[in-house]
Amino acid sequence: MSSETTVPIRRALVLDANILVRAALGRRVVPLLEMYSDRVDFLTPEIAFTDVRRHLPGILMRRGLSPQGVSEVLEREILGRLPLLVTPVHQEVFADLETKARRRLSRRDESDWPFVALALKLQCPIWTEDPDFFGSGIATWTTDRIEMYLSPDG
């Protein structure tokens, strides 16, 4: 009889910028990231953090948050907690797949190519609410279904 040690295989998951926004605004995404961070690598192109920093203040202001409140959320979430849970990946890691990624998004929002290219590079799905990714040949998961992928039985 051999004694085999089972080494857990870590999964990877690319997060779309809209999931980072939900993490900063909502109550569901961050607990999921924290709960599964021991077995799943959460990654996103660096540009996602840039996009969130650009768009989140307007969203927060429309929700009635003061400029000081906006600064506090950005400091706490986008500059603080989220980069500890979601690894930003520099574009040079997946830039070689830009053309292929853009083809998969043709007639959609081709500016989302970094997410597709990173998912192709890592051979993993994308967590998104953006229908532009659906039908791109990359597995996608929405927040209401993501635990099926994240759970050990998934």
The CATH fold of domain 11-150: Rossmann fold (3.40.50)
- Stretch 110-130: mean pLDDT: 96
Place of tokens 């659906």: 134
Residue identified by tokens 């599964």 is: 36
In which element (H, E) is residue 15 found? Answer: strand 11-15
Is 2's pLDDT higher than 50?
no
Distance of CA 54 to the CA centre of its chain: 16
What SS3 state is found at 57? helix
What are the helix (H) ranges across the chain? 17-25, 29-36, 46-62, 67-73, 82-85, 98-104, 113-122, 146-150
Q: What's the rounded mean pLDDT across residues 53-71?
A: 87
Mean pLDDT of the chain: 89
Over the stretch 126-135, which tens digit does the pLDDT of each residue have?
999 999 999 8
Q: What is the dihedral of CA 76, 77, 78, 82, to 10 degrees?
A: 130
Choice between 81 and 115, residue whose per-residue pLDDT is larger: 115
Contacts of 103 (CB under 8 A, 6+ apart): none
Domains in the chain: boundaries? 11-150
